[in-house]
Structures are given as C-alpha cells and as structure tokens.
Amino acid sequence: MRAQAAKSNSSGGIRVDSSGGGFGALELLIVIATLALLIFVVLSGIAFRSYPRGPRITCVNNLKQVGLATRIWAADNGDVYPWIAPMSSNGVKEITMSGDVAALFRSMTNEILNAKILSCPADSKRSRETNWGKLSNKNISYFIGLDSDETRPQTILSGDRNLSGGVLLTNRVVEVRATNTLVWGADIHRRCGNICLGDGSVQQVNDRTLQNQASNQAKMLPVARFAFP
C-alpha cells in the first residue's frame, strides 16, 4: 500500500509526506504559468487577425453589393453596364471618361440603395457619405472597370483604389495592357486588395494573383480601362 500522505511528527503536528501522488506547490505554479501563457498567445493571435480582417471582410461585402447592383442594372437595361449604355438608355456612357466616378455610381442609386458602401473602412483617405446628392470621388474607395461586362465574367469590374500600374491619363482613367504590371499600394489592406469580377464574384488577392488575373484579362481585352476616384 502507498505510504500515508500525512503523519504526526514528534511535536504532535502534521507533516506532509513528499512520497504522496498529489501536486506540490512548485508543480502547481508551473501549470498556472503555462495556462496563462497559452491564453495570452491565443488572445494575442485573435486580436492580431481581427484587426486587418474585419475591415477587409466589410470591403468584400461592399464590392459584392456593387457587383450585384451592376448586374441588376444590366438586367433591366439591355444587359449592359451603365457606363456602356448611352444616356438615352438611362446610362452614363457620355461621361464615362470625365473622371467623375461618383457620377458613374450615382447611375445605380436604385440598385445600390446606400452610398456608404462605396467607402472601405480600411481607407483612411476617404470619408463615408450616405447622401447620394453629396457623393463625390472623395467618398469612394473603389475603381470601376469600364470594359467589363457579363459576357466576359472574368474581367475586372471593380476593386480597391490602391491598385497601381498601367498608364494614368489626365481624367483619372488607367489604361492597362498585357505588358503592364499591377500591384497593390500600402495604404489599404497592407499591400493586398479585393477585386469584383464581371460575374459579380469578389476575390481577395495579393500582387501575384492580381497579376495573374490581369494577364488572363489581357487575353480578352488588349486594353482595359479603369476609372479611379
């Protein structure tokens, strides 16, 4: 049988028998310290991931709404996007190259409903605006792919404005060819970004996957035009 855990000593007191199977004070402290360290690591990891991912997930949802709104508008207007349709058909083709991206988005007020989705929460240089009448480029975080349409579902319809590359024209329109390299700037999503495709889907992409998408698009469009706010 195991030795008794406690025995009387000569003075009549109780002494602890170290041969017992229980935890000692040192072992208990080690367990507590280990658990505390594990909790700290887990909570730190959650906090680190939640900071960049929260705004980016919101941004993805914003672009999904833009993609859906564009497709709904096209379904009601001859299966073309508003910047392709002339004003006589409710479109904005005549002002597509004006540099006023807010006007292009305003053509879809009935489909987008709330103008605040045009501002990414990670974009500190753009302020959110809920009033369509006051909407301007400074309230918009997303560019528009002027040559995207439903018949080419993998073309880039919209995306974060921190994209760079191609040739920037004076009207804030960027022309992109197969020889151009596209990359993300550091001011939004830490050199990553989101793009919405012609089929309404949204992808989270880095520089490499962005360039792959642009290269695939170049096979369909020798020149792709993106209107930036």
User: Helix (H, G, I), strand (E, B), or coil: what is residue 149?
Assistant: strand
Q: How far is CA 90 from CA 52, 75, 82, 204, in A?
A: 39, 13, 7, 32
Give the whole-angstrom CA distance, residue 190 versus residue 17.
Answer: 60
Q: How far is CA 204 from the centre of its chain?
A: 6
What was the pLDDT predicted at 217? 92
Residue 48 has pLDDT above 50, yes or no: no
Q: What are phi and psi of 145, to 5 degrees?
A: -85, 105
Closest C-alpha among 160, 144, 162 to residue 198? 144
What was the pLDDT predicted at 47? 43
What was the pLDDT predicted at 139? 97
Torsion of CA 145, 147, 150, 153, to 10 degrees: -70
Mean pLDDT over the full length of the chain? 85
What was the pLDDT predicted at 50? 41
Question: With b meaning 16 or more CB within 10 Å and e meaning fewer, what string describes 28-66?
Answer: eeeeeeeeeeeeeeeeeeeeeeeeeeebbeebbebbbbb
Tell me the per-residue pLDDT of 116-135, one tens digit each, with 9 for 90 and over. 999 999 999 999 999 999 99
Tell me the β-bridge partners of 16: 6
What was the pLDDT predicted at 44? 52
Torsion of CA 212, 214, 216, 221, to 10 degrees: -170
Residue 15 has pLDDT above 50, yes or no: no
What was the pLDDT predicted at 174? 95
What was the pLDDT predicted at 7? 47
Higher pLDDT, 108 or 19: 108
Tell me the per-residue pLDDT of 144-193, one tens digit each, with 9 for 90 and over. 999 998 888 899 999 999 999 999 998 999 999 999 999 999 889 888 99
